[in-house]
Structure 1
Amino acid sequence: MKLTAIAIDDEPVALAVIKNHAAMVPFLEMKGFFTNAFDAIDFLSKEKIDLLFLDIKMPDISGLDFLSSLAQPPMTVFTTAYSEHAVKSFELDAIDYLLKPFSLIRFMKACNKAHSLLQLKQQHVGAVNKEPDYIFVKSGYEQFRIMLDDILYLESAGNYVNFILNDRKLMSRLSMQEAVELLPAASFTRVHRSYIVANNKIERADRSSLYIKNIPIPIGAAYAAAVERLLDL
Structure 2
Amino acid sequence: MALKCVAIDDEPLALELIKTYVTRFPGLQLVQVFEDALSGAEYLKQNPVDLLFVDVNMPDITGVELVRSLVNSPMIIFTTAYRNYAFESYELQAIDYLLKPIDFTRFTAAVEKAIDFHKYKNSIQESTNDESIYVYSEYKMIKILLRDIEYIESMGDYLKIYLSTSDKPTLTLMTMKKVLEKLPTDQFARIHRSYIVALNKIKSIHNRKVKLANSELPVGDAYADFINQQKGNI
Residue in 2 aligned with 1:50? 50
Residue in 2 aligned with 1:26? 26
Deviations 1:114-171 (Å, cap 9, x if unpaired)? 00000000116x3369xxxxxxxxxxxxxxxxxxxxxxxxxxxxxxxxxxxxxxxxxx
User: Closer, same or farther in 2 for the Cα pair 1:127/1:63, shift >3 Å?
Assistant: same
Residue in 1 aligned with 2:65? 65
Alignment of 1:93-104 (within 5 A): 93-104=93-104
Q: Which amino acid aligns with 1:113?
A: K
- 2:130 maps to 1:127: no
C-alpha distance in 1, partners of 2:38/2:87? 25
- 2:5 maps to 1:5: yes
Q: Which amino acid aligns with 1:6?
A: V
8 Å CA contact 2:34, 2:40 repeated in 1? yes
Q: Which amino acid aligns with 1:45?
A: K
Aligned residues: 128
Runs of 5+ unmatched residues, structure 2:
129-234
Higher-Rg member (1/2): 1
Q: Which amino acid aligns with 1:39?
A: S
C-alpha distance in 1, partners of 2:38/2:88? 22
Runs of 5+ unmatched residues, structure 1:
130-233
User: Closer, same or farther in 2 for the Cα pair 1:50/1:81, shift >3 Å?
Assistant: same
Per-residue deviation at 1:45? 2.3
Secondary structure of the residue that 1:53 maps to in structure 2?
A: strand
C-alpha distance in 1, partners of 2:31/2:15? 13
Per-residue deviation at 1:102? 1.2
77-86 vs 39-48, greater mean Cα deviation? 39-48
Q: Which amino acid aligns with 1:114?
A: A
C-alpha distance in 2, partners of 1:92/1:66? 11
Deviations 1:52-97 (Å, cap 9, x if unpaired)? 0010000010111111111111000000000111111111111100
Runs (4+) off by over 2 Å: 126-129
Alignment of 1:116-155 (within 5 A): 116-123=116-123, 126-127=125-126
Residue in 2 aligned with 1:207? none
Normalising by structure 2, report the TM-score: 0.53
Structure number with higher helix proportion? 1
Secondary structure of the residue that 1:127 maps to in structure 2?
A: coil
Q: Which amino acid aligns with 1:115?
A: I
8 Å CA contact 2:8, 2:55 repeated in 1? yes
C-alpha distance in 1, partners of 2:26/2:103? 17
C-alpha distance in 1, partners of 2:33/2:6? 6
C-alpha distance in 1, partners of 2:127/2:61? 38
8 Å CA contact 2:3, 2:51 repeated in 1? yes
C-alpha distance in 1, partners of 2:127/2:41? 31
Secondary structure of the residue that 2:41 maps to in structure 1?
A: helix
Residue in 1 aligned with 2:79? 79
Per-residue deviation at 1:42? 2.1
Q: Quote the RMSD (CA, aligned, Å).
A: 1.5
Secondary structure of the residue that 1:76 maps to in structure 2?
A: strand
C-alpha distance in 1, partners of 2:39/2:69? 14
Secondary structure of the residue that 1:45 maps to in structure 2?
A: helix
C-alpha distance in 1, partners of 2:19/2:103? 13
Normalising by structure 1, report the TM-score: 0.53
Q: Which amino acid aligns with 1:38?
A: L
